[in-house]
Amino acid sequence: MTNSTGKINVLMVCLGNICRSPSAHAVFKKLVADAGLSEIISVESAGTGSYHIGEKPDKRSREAAKKRGYSLRGIRAQQLQVEDFSHYDYLLAMDENNFASMLAMAPKQYHHKIRLFMEFANNAAMAVPDPYYSGADGFELVLDLVEEASAGLLSHIKQQDLH
Ligand code: 4NP
């Protein structure tokens, strides 16, 4: 265990918290549940921007997720807060812009917790591209990438944090 909550706390972060990070949140949450680790690993999501606070995930994300057996129900957009850097153990940026915003906001002592989510994927892509202005393929690509990175993240946490 890595902190006082007794859990490993993971925060998925994008810009709006309505497309990529809610998708990553739901995909990783299901993987954790299927592995029987929901009591040990907790996952949430947030956006660096404030535009969509309180909104449901984008309908296109909800529909694409549902087709693959994931539910985004109950997720509402929230903005990343400075307190999140102490609470969470892994704060995972969907792209380099999110990563830079998070580093700019976080006290230096927490910089090591901030990573690009795609670092955990066995894939050359280093970012989950913003699908907001894309067609349906953009939303499928988000799911392909976050499924891969989620699998890598769970293996990493099992090796690094759970013994
Ligand atoms: P997300 O996508 O960061 O994956 O949630 C976006 C959602 C909304 C906007 C940009 C990206 N927007 O500019 O409103």
pLDDT tens digits along 33-58: 999 999 999 999 999 999 999 999 99
Q: How many CB atoms are closer than 10 A to CB 59?
A: 10
**Residue recorded with tokens 């499924």:** 147
Q: Does domain 8-161 match CATH 3.40.50.2300? A: yes
Instruction: Supply the pLDDT for residue 155.
Output: 97
Q: Is the pLDDT of residue 1 over 50?
A: no
CA of 127 relative to ligand 1 center, distance in Å? 14
Domain residue spans of the chain: 8-161
Residue 128 has pLDDT above 60, yes or no: yes
- Give the global pTM: 0.96
pLDDT band at 163 (very low <50, low <70, confident <90, very high): confident
- Whole-number Å distance, alpha carbon 34 to ligand 1 midpoint, is 29
Residue 60 near ligand 1, beta carbon < 6 Å: no
Q: What number does the ligand 1 atom closest to the CA of 57 have?
A: 5
Confidence of residue 2 (pLDDT cuts 50, 70, 90): low
**Calpha distance 16→2 (Å, rounded):** 28
Dihedral-angle region of residue 69 (phi above 0 means left; psi in -120 to 50 means alpha; beta otherwise)? left
